Structure 1
Amino acid sequence: MRFWRNLSCVLLLLLCSALSYEYWLCYRAQTPVNGKTRLPGLQRPVEVIRDAIGVAHIFAQNFDDAIFAQGYVTAQDRLWQMDLLRRSGYGELSEVFGARALEMDKEQRLLGFKRVVMRQERNLSPEDLHCLQCYADGVNAFLQLHRDRLPIEFHILRYQPSAWLPRDTLVLNLWIGKLLSTSWDIDLMRELIYKKLPRQLAEQLLVEFSPNDVLVVGSDSSERPMSRLGAFPVGSLENPFLGGEKASAFGVGPPVRDNPPLHPSSGGECAFSPLVVPPQGGMENGLVDSLEITELRRLLAPYTPGEQKESMGSNNWVVAGWRTAGGMPILANDPHLARGAPSLWHMAHLNVPGILNVIGVAIPGVPGIILGHNENIAWGATNLAPDVQDLYIEKIHPQDQNRYRLNDSWQEMEQHQEIISIKGQKPEVLRIRSTRHGPVFRELEGRVLALRWSLLEESISLPIASNLNTAGNWQEFRLAMEKYSGPVQNFVYADRRGNIGFLNAGKIPVRARGDGSVPVPGQTDDYEWTGYIPFDELPRSFNPASGLIVTANNRIAGKSYPHFLTHQWASPHRAHRIQHVLETKSRLKVADMLQIQGDVYSSANEMISRILLEALGRRREVPSRDARTVAIEEIQRQLENWDSLARTDSVGTTICEEFRQTFLEEILKDQLGEDWKAYQWFNKSTLVENLLQTRNPEFLPKKYSSYDSFILACLQETSQRLKDRYKTAEPKQWLWGDYLPVEFRHPLGQFWPLTKLFNTGPVPQPGTPLTVKQTSSRVGVSMRMVIDFADLDQSVNNITLGESGLVFSRHYRDQFDDWLKVQSYPMLFTRAKIEQQRRSTLLLVP
């Protein structure tokens, strides 16, 4: 007995010692934020003031030192996250995580991000390369000085980070672009649906338009069909807020004499060549080489319907001064991205007297400010998600798998090998082949699929536009955005002169034939890209008469817009709600914008609730065994007393959300059979709403005699699903906050006992995928920012968790509670306000 007692004591002592050592490592990783630190590479001293939430306000005497210091403090806060992001881009996760990351690495190696950024690095201008090098020097200065005090993740995974290189910043842009613009799987899904269904039914499943669409440019009044868009008249509406400036064809723009975005023809129309979009999907491909249903099923097999296809998104808007309490524009932005720990965004402030004074957020590893404001302008972004990826079906030589057909000859593929290091295993060798269109992405019998993607063809691909941070007016903003080379975004703009604006920036291809929405033959030049939409012909608006601009991944261009952007838009519910609230309120303030960002009114579910109550009211007329169960009676009472707000204690939200999914699944199973799981569409909510309201008989499953009986059967199934999910038959216990609890998971948080240490949550959260405060299990608000030009110090910003990625830092998750409550923190801009909130000062000296 004494032996076992002693052994237990020894084991307990060893455990305590191990935990104490790990605690010491975590604590030691917090490098000094006070005092003086000497850094070779600096030219002049730099002062870094940290405020109450740990934001670094960097005061430098020249631009190079400011960027150097930003690299240093970002590494101080997020070094392991920076290394994780670049490994994700390069496809080097298996080296530290082992075989569990191998498939992710293989896809990254197929895309060839490392080869792309090495080419792009050579194409950088001397100024851009110098900026990236200054940032890298700052990161490496931290690494060299504190290599013995690395974040705990390096110790757990037992590896050391390599030096940061300029190309590492470039690969982050490609990684972000992949998150925001991947659409090749949607192309395969569209082709499958067009092959299985008559075109008329397929187009209703792949719905593009809604009566609630909030357009920023153009209109839907044109009688030209969407498949054959021509040019459209130049507007001539006088803008009373610009002293006689006229409306451009894309919205109200600068004076035509100063910077005409279009050149009118003598007939009073834009000098665009008419855009001809041929029939899409299998209708056209039936005449040429296309994929068989069995091939499509195999290609889509790894992909199941996911909420991210509907819930990934963002909100931004800007209002003119005549709508605000302060008489100056207010701009708001809240990007919605996949959740994780640490936060994706890092807050920073860079100040160089007379040269640079900019504050906002950046992605760790990227110099400058991606979203924010300087002394003169502010900007925010949402994802446009245009179609910038095409799949080409390449014919392979029957005797040589490395040759493919091109017109009347056979061409050699480009080939190289990638060696993937795997922790604990032998390296894996991956053979990569590429055609003229891009990497061979998938193998077929006698054919391959090659992926063409605009970001892979960029000569330079920076995540932030050169000169954006120092732009002082609309013209300089436009010039900066013309050089932007990241994923295509909806940028909103405001400035201290009272102007507001909107523009798209990034590369969107123009095709010789087709629109890239389904795989196309690659052996001829028929479907080649002929260029990109010129920057001055991308959607744009400046000082619209309405005094407000709203985007939320919704359809922003009307049918009169002459270029193809995409078929897949997000549901208009968020944009429509934001627009409605802004139009109905006056004397808007920062607090009003925060309230809108936290809005959980669900117009989509309000409609579903009404339809359900109508069907329940007629249930005695509907033959159904289950129409009068106790649970259904209680569901009816819950819906009758529901206010359409998706709060955590809401039962009505739970019922409507589950019903929507049940109803959609039954429709898809009836139409697509075994392939129903392949369906994924951003705007699937509009499909559900259209069918519930129009009751199209072509979509009514054959086993039901009416839509009422179908709706009641789906409601009964909803009841059973919720009973199983919540482990109770009492509907009043089906609280929405328990349906999609929010949790921020660290890559190491899946392993006990690290879960509680690294992860945050789960906790109940309000909102749905279609409310302004967008919510899902994996995606949600990543940052909230509101900028008021009446007093820039009253602007606010809040990220999800905190500034630091060091788990024992007080700033690791100190913002989480306020993020959950939709509360925020001042974006301290003037020196006086910063001094009031000063918590530490680090002097960096040469």
Structure 2
Amino acid sequence: MKGIKWLLLTTVVIIFGVAVTSYFWLRLSLPLYQGEYPAAVANPVNLDRDALGYLSVSAADRNDAAYGMGFAHAQERFFQMDLARRSASGTLAELFGERALATDIERRRHRFAERAATTLTEFSAADLQILSAYSRGVNDGLASLASVPFEYHLLGADAMPWQETDSILVIYNMYLELQGKMGRDEYAMTVLRQAIPESWFQFLQQHSSDWQAAIDNSEVTPVSLPDAPYPEVLRAAGPCIECTPKDSADLGSNNMAVMGRLTSHGKAIVANDMHLTIRAPGTWYKVQLNWRQDNEWQQVTGLSLAGAPAIVVGSNGHIAWGFTNSTADWHDLIKLQLSEDGKSYLTEHGWQPLQNHYETIKIKGAEDYSLQLQETQWGPFINYGEHTFALRWVAYDNNAVNFNLLKLETTRTTEQALALGAITGIPTQNLLVADKDGNIGWTPLGPLPGRQVTDWDTAQDWSDGSNFWSANLSSEQYPRIYNPEAGVLWTANARSVGGEAYRLLGNGGYDLGARGQQIRNNLLNKGQLDEQAMHQIQLDNRALFLGRWQQLLLDVLTPEVTAEHQLAEYRLLLSQSSRYAAADDIGYTLVQQFRQQTIELLFAPLSALLEQQGSRSANLKFSLETPAWAMLQARRTDTLPAGFSDWSQLLVKAVLDSKQQLEQQHGSLQDSRWGRQNQAKIRHPLSSAIPLIGDWLNMPASEFAGDRHMPRVQLPSFGQSQRMVVAPGHEQDGILTIPAGQSGHPLSPFYRADHQYWLNEVALPFLPGPKKYQLRLVPDA
């Protein structure tokens, strides 16, 4: 007994010792927040932080402001910055070993490291100065830490210095995140088009006429079910590993703008919540930059992306702006005609040799991996299924990345901001902008290629020269909307425009439109709007999209069906639903799972078809909701999957299967509230690799309200990566909230500082609060 007590005491002492040692080891890489630090600046730079770590940089000029922001980014987020540059350049295996090799091989085909070096040579002198100052700030911020960020100790790796090209790689990484389908969508569409009659292809791939809310008021006409029989290949599922079909694009971001004539204070307002994968720390870093330019004090406030010296979205007191991903068509998949020896491909100028590029991937703990890349004049050589293609992507153009986004910082009017669309090098976004005089506008911000391609949605042969991309569109050719008659604008990753504007943008897998429609109706029906009203629209989790599915489910649950399958409790819980995606709502879970299971039963054969050809239903450019609902309304026997004799049989099976899945997952229907189904998984990238204390790095496993197809998009690790509402010139009433916190260091007071506010819908101020910490960067003699 005495021995056991000594063993327990020794264990406790060891654990305590490890904890104390770990604490002091972690403190070595904790950022310096107060005092003075000698720095490579021309004049003193103040880095002020409020109680939540919101950064204010004050400098004599824009270069020193960039230095200060780079210094702070490195203090708080260097490891995350490193992951972004490595993701784009294909060097993750240097940190993570062979587990990252497949990702590095896939990323190397884009040769972004080489492209970044070329792009840098085309920057203006002014932008180069800002970029150089930012990079010096990053490296000095890293050097200011007593020890490198803790992640490098855990990985047994070095923190490599920041180069000017690395900031370009960070933007290329956003191309990968926002436009990363790499032609998989066009391959899936090609497979489908070749497998079924054209009438059925047109029916399946139509834009939704039920859920549309284009900002130019354009409408699409529904495509009716064809008279021809349903294709047999879409009725009988062949063998497949994963036959669960998925919607092409459920997710994205929200943006709203309201003219001054509709607001309580007469100022135009922009509200923006960008939807991305949510990690700890998050994507965005709150910062205000203050500097003098041409004897005038400049101030711009908003969100920065660690790794780049720009304010991405925010306000400069004259204009405010926000983004949603355009979800337009940025790739073309090109059918290649190869020579018999496979070394050449046919072009309009005859046979051309494939260009070979040789690269070496360094792998932690293993031998280097030699990689041969092949490329055509259009882009890299790529295989899908058993077929060979080339990939044409706007990200490969020389003007895909530049720093003209910085021009928004000093732009004064909405019209001036709209003119920046054609010259800005970022993954093309829907820009909504408002100015202090009450004007608002929309335009694509980023490159738009001039295109002559027979069909943008399927792979085409470019060998005879009839299909090609020309120079990017000029500013005069860009579609724009300025001060619409209704006084409001919105974008939500669905089709935003029709007609000629749509023909310039194409379809990259638009969202269904339910979110956009709900936002539009909120804006038009709320009367006079202010910042708090806009914030409430961002938080709107009414389940309008699922309303018709709930009614369908109630109709399926006839007294006979309810009694036969013992579904009385199920039907009661369904009838008690609040029709919100609320954390405590069980009925919402039942409807959501019923819809998902119904679509799975209907389109499992389609998924099998695509899988057999090396693709997936998630890559299709259309949502399965539109054809599914039309087929449900028509209830034609020939459109039933094999194995079902009538539609009632299919729908009852969807009820029973979805009920069984929930009971297996949660134990009972009573425990199947939406919050358990939608529980937070906001994690640090290394938490799963750290025994015992790894979970400490993660945010709490909170139960989320919100879902797809509603303004409050929120899934376990994807959703509103920020909520911003601001009127230029009226920033004191603005709102800015992020998940997790400013810092990537778990001992920082800012690691979780914003999270509870974001989680509990608290509208934090847009402007930084009172100064609590000040680090003064002074010129190093």
Fold conserved (TM > 0.5)?
Answer: yes
- 304-313 vs 520-529, which moves further: 304-313
TM superposition shift of 1:388: 1.1
**Which residue of the partner structure matches residue 749 of structure 1?**
687
**Which residue of the partner structure matches residue 163 of structure 1?**
161
**Which residue of the partner structure matches residue 101 of structure 1?**
100
Q: Which segments of 5 or more consecutive residues in structure 1 lack a partner in the other structure?
A: 226-292, 621-625
The 1:418/1:435 distance shift into structure 2, 3 A limit, reads same
1:373 aligns with 2:315: yes
**Which residue of the partner structure matches residue 33 of structure 2?**
33
- 686-695 vs 747-756, which moves further: 686-695
Give the conservation status (yes or no) of the 8 Å contact 2:123–2:402: no
SS across alignment from 1:85:
helix
Deviations 1:244-302 (A, max 9, x none): xxxxxxxxxxxxxxxxxxxxxxxxxxxxxxxxxxxxxxxxxxxxxxxxx9xxx99x999
Alpha-carbon distance in structure 2 between the residues aligned to 1:651 and 1:516 = 42
1:571 aligns with 2:512: yes
SS across alignment from 2:253:
strand
Question: Of 707, 712, 720, which residue of structure 1 is paired with 2:647?
Answer: 707
The 1:329/1:115 distance shift into structure 2, 3 A limit, reads same
TM superposition shift of 1:10: 6.2
TM superposition shift of 1:770: 1.2
| Equivalent residue runs for 1:569-718 within 5 Å | 569-617=510-558, 620=560, 627-629=562-564, 631-671=566-606, 673=608, 675=610, 678-680=616-618, 681=620, 683-695=623-635, 697-718=637-658
Give the conservation status (yes or no) of the 8 Å contact 2:394–2:400: no
**Which residue of the partner structure matches residue 282 of structure 1?**
none
Deviations 1:525-572 (A, max 9, x none): 222213334333333111111010011001111246462423321011
**Which residue of the partner structure matches residue 392 of structure 1?**
334
**Which residue of the partner structure matches residue 118 of structure 1?**
117
Alpha-carbon distance in structure 2 between the residues aligned to 1:511 and 1:698 = 40
**Which residue of the partner structure matches residue 419 of structure 2?**
479
The 1:92/1:371 distance shift into structure 2, 3 A limit, reads same
Give the conservation status (yes or no) of the 8 Å contact 1:221–1:560: no
TM superposition shift of 1:773: 0.5
**Which residue of the partner structure matches residue 785 of structure 1?**
724
**Which residue of the partner structure matches residue 706 of structure 2?**
767
1:42 aligns with 2:41: yes
Alpha-carbon distance in structure 1 between the residues aligned to 2:166 and 2:310 = 15
**Which residue of the partner structure matches residue 821 of structure 1?**
760
Deviations 1:342-391 (A, max 9, x none): 11101100011425210000110010200000010000000112111112
Give the conservation status (yes or no) of the 8 Å contact 1:471–1:480: no
Question: Of 493, 511, 523, which residue of structure 1 is paired with 2:463?
Answer: 523
The 1:15/1:636 distance shift into structure 2, 3 A limit, reads closer
Q: Which segments of 5 or more consecutive residues in structure 2 lack a partner in the other structure?
A: 224-232
SS across alignment from 1:732:
coil
The 1:684/1:462 distance shift into structure 2, 3 A limit, reads farther
SS across alignment from 1:577:
helix
Q: Which one-letter code corresponds to 1:150 in the other structure?
A: V
Alpha-carbon distance in structure 2 between the residues aligned to 1:123 and 1:43 = 26
SS across alignment from 1:657:
helix
**Which residue of the partner structure matches residue 659 of structure 2?**
719
TM superposition shift of 1:790: 6.5
- 78-87 vs 194-203, which moves further: 194-203
**Which residue of the partner structure matches residue 278 of structure 2?**
339
Q: Which one-letter code corresponds to 1:655 in the other structure?
A: L
Question: Of 469, 472, 476, which residue of structure 2 is paired with 1:532?
Answer: 472
**Which residue of the partner structure matches residue 448 of structure 2?**
508
Alpha-carbon distance in structure 2 between the residues aligned to 1:458 and 1:687 = 40
Alpha-carbon distance in structure 2 between the residues aligned to 1:585 and 1:17 = 59
Give the conservation status (yes or no) of the 8 Å contact 2:637–2:645: no
**Which residue of the partner structure matches residue 733 of structure 1?**
671
Give the conservation status (yes or no) of the 8 Å contact 2:269–2:725: yes
**Which residue of the partner structure matches residue 839 of structure 1?**
772
Q: Which one-letter code corresponds to 2:22 in the other structure?
A: E
TM superposition shift of 1:222: 9.9
Give the conservation status (yes or no) of the 8 Å contact 2:212–2:219: no
- 10-19 vs 82-91, which moves further: 10-19
- 337-346 vs 820-829, which moves further: 820-829
- 172-181 vs 564-573, which moves further: 564-573
Alpha-carbon distance in structure 1 between the residues aligned to 2:541 and 2:403 = 32
TM superposition shift of 1:453: 0.5
Deviations 1:799-838 (A, max 9, x none): 1110011011111112111111222211226xxxx5xx21
Alpha-carbon distance in structure 2 between the residues aligned to 1:692 and 1:302 = 27
**Which residue of the partner structure matches residue 227 of structure 2?**
none
Alpha-carbon distance in structure 2 between the residues aligned to 1:781 and 1:31 = 27
The 1:603/1:691 distance shift into structure 2, 3 A limit, reads farther
Question: Of 267, 286, 301, which residue of structure 2 is paired with 1:328?
Answer: 267
TM superposition shift of 1:54: 0.5
**Which residue of the partner structure matches residue 266 of structure 1?**
none
**Which residue of the partner structure matches residue 174 of structure 2?**
176
The 1:536/1:308 distance shift into structure 2, 3 A limit, reads farther
Give the conservation status (yes or no) of the 8 Å contact 2:97–2:365: yes
SS across alignment from 1:814:
coil
TM-score by length of 2: 0.91
Q: Which one-letter code corresponds to 1:60 in the other structure?
A: A
Deviations 1:296-318 (A, max 9, x none): x99x9999868684333000101
| Equivalent residue runs for 1:45-84 within 5 Å | 45-84=44-83
The 1:492/1:302 distance shift into structure 2, 3 A limit, reads farther
Alpha-carbon distance in structure 2 between the residues aligned to 1:562 and 1:640 = 42
The 1:481/1:114 distance shift into structure 2, 3 A limit, reads same
- 67-76 vs 753-762, which moves further: 753-762
Give the conservation status (yes or no) of the 8 Å contact 1:481–1:505: yes
TM superposition shift of 1:674: 5.0
**Which residue of the partner structure matches residue 250 of structure 1?**
none
Alpha-carbon distance in structure 2 between the residues aligned to 1:460 and 1:572 = 28
The 1:305/1:483 distance shift into structure 2, 3 A limit, reads farther
Alpha-carbon distance in structure 2 between the residues aligned to 1:646 and 1:464 = 40
Give the conservation status (yes or no) of the 8 Å contact 1:47–1:59: yes
Give the conservation status (yes or no) of the 8 Å contact 2:208–2:220: no
1:154 aligns with 2:95: no
**Which residue of the partner structure matches residue 228 of structure 2?**
none
Q: Which one-letter code corresponds to 2:776 in the other structure?
A: L
The 1:614/1:559 distance shift into structure 2, 3 A limit, reads farther
TM superposition shift of 1:608: 0.3
Deviations 1:313-337 (A, max 9, x none): 0001011122221121111000000
Give the conservation status (yes or no) of the 8 Å contact 1:646–1:653: yes
Alpha-carbon distance in structure 1 between the residues aligned to 2:636 and 2:748 = 57
Matched positions, count: 756
Q: Which one-letter code corresponds to 2:592 in the other structure?
A: E
TM-score by length of 1: 0.84
Alpha-carbon distance in structure 2 between the residues aligned to 1:14 and 1:651 = 46
Deviations 1:450-479 (A, max 9, x none): 211111113450366141111111233133
SS across alignment from 1:24:
helix
Deviations 1:684-727 (A, max 9, x none): 33333333344455533354444334322221222222222222
Alpha-carbon distance in structure 1 between the residues aligned to 2:562 and 2:568 = 9
Give me the CA root mean square deviation: 2.7
